Amino acid sequence: MTVATKKKVHNYSAGPCILPQEVFVQAAQAVLDFEGSGLSILEISHRSKPFEAVMAKAQALVKELLGAPDHYQVVFLGGGASTGFTTVPLNYMKPGGKSAYVNTGEWATRAIEESKLVGETLVVASSEDKNFSYIPKGFEIPADADYFQLTSNNTIFGSQWKQFPKSPVPVVCDMSSDIFSRPVQVSDFALIYGGAQKNMGPAGATVYLFDPERTGNTGRKISPMLDLKNHGAKESMYNTPPVFAVYVSMLTMQWMKKVGGVAEIEKRNSAKAKLLYDAIDRLPMFKGTTAVEDRSPMNATFVMSDAALEPAFDALWKEAGISGIRGHRSVGGYRASMYNALPIESVQALVDVMEHFAQKNG
Task: Please report the pLDDT score of residue 1 as a whole number.
Answer: 37
Q: From the DSSP assignment, how many helices (H) and strands (E) are in the chain? A: 9, 14
In this structure, which topology does domain 24-259 adopt according to CATH? Aspartate Aminotransferase; domain 2 (3.40.640)
Give the span between the Cα atoms of 348 and 346, in whole angstroms: 5
Query: Largest Cα–Cα distance in the chain?
Result: 65
Determine whether domain 261-361 maps to CATH 3.90.1150.10: yes
Task: Please report the pLDDT score of residue 266 as a whole number.
Answer: 98
Task: Please report the pLDDT score of residue 25 as a whole number.
Answer: 97
Q: For residue 78, give the 3-state DSSP assignment.
A: coil
The whole model's pTM is what? Answer: 0.96
Same fold, 24-259 and 261-361: no
Task: Please report the pLDDT score of residue 331 as a whole number.
Answer: 84
Domain ranges of the chain: 24-259, 261-361
Task: Please report the pLDDT score of residue 6 as a whole number.
Answer: 61
Instruction: Judge residue 70's burial from the number of C-beta atoms within 10 Å of its C-beta, 0-12 exposed, 13-18 middle, 19 or more buried.
Output: exposed
Rounding to the nearest 10 degrees, give the CA dihedral for residues 143, 172, 184, 127: -80
What residues are annotated to the active site? 107, 174, 198
Total residue count of the chain as it appears in this document: 362
Question: Consecutive 10-residue runs of the chain (362 residues): their mean pLDDT?
Answer: 63 95 97 96 94 98 98 97 98 98 98 98 98 97 98 97 98 98 98 97 97 96 97 96 98 98 98 98 97 98 96 97 93 95 98 97 82
Instruction: Judge residue 347's burial from the number of C-beta atoms within 10 Å of its C-beta, 0-12 exposed, 13-18 middle, 19 or more buried.
Output: buried
